[in-house]
Structure 1
């Protein structure tokens, strides 16, 4: 089987820590042909470190020598780059979130359909062992119809002090669009991606504007902090299901909390740690697995799914239509915060 030639656009931390190691682990199916970064020195350093032959300052030149690209740039450039690559007939893996806005994400989806190429979005929590196990049990009917999702993605005083995470122009937001989006996507997927009907949300950033910051992930400019560091939301779906959602970079809590809990008509599932909760045979049963199949690093099965989808051997686990839905809810949460009113999503195209 001929190897898929991959190029990376953006040579920063996520490319080096997750995607390049995953691609190297799958070297029987793929080769890293090139890397591109607006800082050519960064591209050269990464190429030398990982023995990547091609180095480009302009990603458009790189598109001539690859079959697919992995987009690891700030959020502002996701849509522009993905559409350019798809228009040149390249498959695209794009880091989360899909884009800065629903409108931009919609253009990406249309470009993928027109090009008839794969467009995958980097919501890697779907590929965790716990998520895969939960999806299997939910689809097998072990909890009945899902009714309520409770999602908490809370870090204690861990605003990312590096890169551009707190730059609103480049990222579009903070804790929700960077961190919480993973768990929003995961919970939507476990619910079966029902169509949202109404979103009520509140975004905070007063904590990170205070002087004398205690922050475990480096310093940042508290005086010019413009993005959200804490977000809450309540989401109603057209099928009657609901979601209670909270995410934070900087919560004043005892310790970090990462939980996704799905309650159904006949049982429930908690992730991180994984527990199946049921009421059967006159008993309340909590079942914890002795062993779960899958990789400890979700980046490997995520990239394997993308590569095999490009080769026509699998279907993408994260479909662009579903990632578009995540972006639509993020937009609605921010809009609800600004208007101080709930946002009604009446049409399918609104999500």
Structure 2
């Protein structure tokens, strides 16, 4: 069986915690051939621990020994590295968000089309069992045409105190671009990927700057905290659907919450956990799934889809044009917050 030769660019937490373990579990179809990181000691350590044969200080030198790369760098470098890899004839699997701006996303897509190589984006919430069940229910018209989506990705005092998560220059934003983006992507996918046409949003930078901070995920510099820690938005789509959205790293709430619901013409769904809500036989019925098939680790089916797509056996579930729409909404939310006005996208 043909194996895909994979390179890792950026050997930090997400590479070590999600992508490398997933590829090792799928060793019958992929082999990790090379790794690169700005910190040579990090790259060398990851290579030794995972028996990766090639270590490069310059990621460009990796392209001659791999078929594909997984990009796990800060957001600022997603477009630059993706375009370089695609132009070198290498498939790209890029961590979310796709890039810092819509313009960068468009350049990445253009490079993919010109090179004929695949560009995948790591929105792994689509591969969760609840998400797959919800998509199946919607596709089989169990709720009718989706009308309204509601999404909340809320953490109680959990600002990531490590890495560069609070660095605006390197990341482009905070809770929205790091965490909430998953729920924007999942909502658009479940709604059938409608085109966003109007966005109203507010991004806050207050909670994490308050004195006397209590943070469950490590220390951070509150006085120089420069990204959003709480965001709300209302989004309209070209097909008449709409979305209510909220995300936070620092909410003063009772507990963390990850939830989504979609109301359709004849029924609705909730996740997480998955539940279907219907009006049938003169009754209002709510049904939960006793068991949903699939892998509990969404990183496994995500990796498998990208690998098999590169090998010509599947199609990408997360298409770059869809990921671009997520970035367009993110960009519009930030612009709406800055201007105090709704942003028209079409």
TM-score, length-scaled by structure 1: 0.98
Report 1:68-87 matches (<5 A): 68-87=68-87
In the alignment, the residues of structure 1 paired with residue 128 and residue 295 of structure 2 have an alpha-carbon distance, to the nearest angstrom, of 7
Using the TM superposition, give the Cα deviation of residue 2 of structure 1 relative to its aligned residue in structure 2, in angstroms.
1.8
Counterpart for residue 349 of structure 1: none
Tell me the SS of whatever aligns to 2:315: coil
Pair 1:147-2:119 in alignment = no
Structure 1 partner of 2:304: 304
Distance 2:260 2:188 in 1: 11
Q: How far apart, in 2, do the equivalents of 1:56 and 1:126 lie?
A: 32
Cα distance per residue 1:118-140 (max 9 Å; x no partner): 10000000000000010011000
Task: Indicate the residue corresponding to 1:212 in structure 2.
Answer: 212
Structure 2 counterpart of 1:53: 53
Residue matched to 1:345? 345
Structure 1 unaligned blocks of 5 or more: 347-351
Structure 1 residue 51 displacement after superposition = 1.1
CA distance in 2: counterparts of 1:345 and 1:66, whole angstroms: 38
Residue of structure 1 in register with 2:22 after alignment: 22
Residue in structure 2 matched with residue 255 of structure 1 by the alignment: 255
Question: Which is further off, 50-59 or 11-20?
Answer: 50-59
Residue 322 of structure 2 aligns with which residue? 322
Superimposed CA distance per residue, residues 58-107 of structure 1 (whole angstroms, 9 cap, x where no aligned partner): 10001111000000000000000000000000000000000001000110
3-state DSSP of counterpart to 1:34: strand
**CA deviation vs aligned residue, 1:265-323 (integer Å, no higher than 9, x gap):** 00000011110000000111111111101100000000000000000100000000000
Q: Distance in 1 between matches of 2:300 and 2:178?
A: 21
Q: For residue 265 of structure 1, what is the aligned residue in structure 2? A: 265
**Aligned positions of 1:117-156 closer than 5 A:** 117-156=117-156
SS at match of 1:7: strand
TM-superposition CA deviations, 1:123-172 (whole Å, max 9, x none): 00000000001001100000000000000000000000000000000000
1:238: Cα distance to partner?
A: 1.4
Query: Which aligned segments of 4 or more residues in structure 1 are displaced greater than 4 angstroms?
Result: none
Q: Given the alignment of the two structures, is residue 292 of structure 1 paired with residue 299 of structure 2, yes or no?
A: no
Q: CA RMSD in A?
A: 0.5
Q: Secondary structure at the match of 2:153?
A: strand
Count how many residue pairs are aligned between Structure 1 and Structure 2: 346
User: Take 1:300 and 1:68, find their aligned partners in 2: how far apart are those partners?
Assistant: 17
Structure 2, unaligned stretches of length 5 or more? Answer: none
> Could you tell me how far apart the structure 2 residues matched to 1:334 and 1:225 are?
17
After superposition, where does 1:114-263 map in structure 2 within 5 Å? Answer: 114-263=114-263
Hey, what's the Cα distance between the residues in 2 that align with 1:327 and 1:63?
A: 27
Give yes or no for the alignment of 1:275 onto 2:275.
Answer: yes
Q: Residues of 1 paired with 2:156 and 2:49: CA distance?
A: 33
> TM-score with structure 2 length normalisation?
0.99
Q: Distance in 1 between matches of 2:240 and 2:30?
A: 43
